[in-house]
Structure 1
Amino acid sequence: MPQQTRQAARGGAEATPPDAGVPLALGMPRPARRPDRRAVHWWLTQNLLVVVPVLAALAAAALTPDAPSWLWTVLAVLCPVGVGYALLTPWYRYRVHRWEAGDDAVCATSGWLTREWRVVPFTRIQTLDSRRGPLMQLFGLSAVTVTTASAAGPVTIVGLDKGLADELVRDLTERVRALREDGT
């Protein structure tokens, strides 16, 4: 029987993650919390801000009098690919991205071509940052970056509600501070 997530165990609507049958190292949290639902719209907007200008520039180039005929073929191929990318990847990212702040560590999964599962023990946390770009502010979202001395780089949890991100940074800061004061 797959393990239940903390939220599902408390009666929340969150389902168990797809990899619920995978055994975990003792004490490691299972990433079960998803980004805020508004993250889908944020990712969609980001994609459209790239795809639409590229397709518009390509169409404008194809409409010039001296344009080569093969440009229409390129446009015909790139339009469905670009639109499919813009519309489908935000939902896939929402399905894959997960995070959890357990008793001893922060855990996050991300990626869409290759999936990455990162666990950061509280004893290894060096800095905690919260970031809000212009589009994130428009959608009321934030990203929390947990930095360690690891060569793999920081763990970034994206698409969090601003209030939840602020609360997460405060909570993790207090937990790390308590560990440092204990001398560990």
Structure 2
Amino acid sequence: MATTQDEGPVLQEPSERVSPRARVMWAVTAFANSVFLLGVYLLVGYAWDFVPLNVWLALGLAAVLLAYTVVMPLFRYAVHRWEVTDTAVYTQTGWLTIERRIAPMSRIQTVDYEEGLLSRLFGLASVTVTTASAAGPLVITALDKARARELIEVLTRRADVVPGDAT
């Protein structure tokens, strides 16, 4: 994190990236959601007597969902970053909108490790850093399992040595 003489710390883009396998996991998730949504549309359309217009709408919906399945993981991977310093945890998430969050080490209350079913298939895990913030926890998703476990240890050690009551 850079500083200026008069302004103090300047928020920079975090330096660490999530695992490259995250792109594939996000694409698989988007594809599954797209197939489900298209299936629901077709079932509803069939129940209400398909007309030629519905076929064109179904093809248009399929094209939009295909584009989403291809584009979203690429944008999301380009944006998702994280970084841990001696004093804070930084995250940047999103793909259409970008959110950057900072949690000072002195505010960390808990650090959690999670492997969802799909994440486990891709060898990935998430680390959740809970603070006293009303904005909720910071979540670092799609990390390699070994990197996530290492991050848990680092955060636990650093949060333990920083003075403060985490409130």
So what's the TM-score if we normalise by structure 1? 0.78
Aligned to 2:127: 144
Aligned to 1:162: 145
Q: Which has the higher strand share?
A: 2
Runs of 4+ deviating beyond 3 Å? 27-30, 56-66
SS of residue matched to 2:153: helix
Q: How does 1:1-184 map to 2 (within 5 A)?
A: 25-26=8-9, 30-59=13-42, 66-180=49-163
Contact 2:107 2:165 in 1 (8 A): no
Give the Å deviation of 1:78. Answer: 0.4
Deviation per residue, 1:84-117 (Å, 9 max, x gap): 0011100100000110001210001011121111
Q: What amino acid is the match of 1:110?
A: T
So what's the TM-score if we normalise by structure 2? 0.86
Deviation per residue, 1:92-150 (Å, 9 max, x gap): 00000110001210001011121111011100000101111000000000011111111
Aligned to 1:10: none
SS of residue matched to 2:14: coil
Give the Å deviation of 1:61. Answer: 5.4
The whole-number CA distance in structure 1 between the counterparts of 2:143 and 2:29 is: 16
- Flag the 1:120–1:93 CA change in 2: closer, same or farther, 3 A: same
Deviation per residue, 1:39-92 (Å, 9 max, x gap): 001101111111012223434555679323331122021011000001110010
The whole-number CA distance in structure 1 between the counterparts of 2:10 and 2:20 is: 28
Compute the RMSD of aligned alpha carbons: 2.5
Where does the alignment leave 5 or more consecutive residues of structure 1 unmatched? 4-23
The whole-number CA distance in structure 1 between the counterparts of 2:119 and 2:85 is: 26
How many corresponding residue pairs?
161
The whole-number CA distance in structure 1 between the counterparts of 2:160 and 2:99 is: 28
Contact 1:29 1:100 in 2 (8 A): no
Q: What amino acid is the match of 1:103?
A: D
The whole-number CA distance in structure 1 between the counterparts of 2:124 and 2:146 is: 9
Q: Identical aligned pairs, as a percentage?
A: 38
Give the Å deviation of 1:178. Answer: 1.8
The whole-number CA distance in structure 1 between the counterparts of 2:137 and 2:46 is: 46
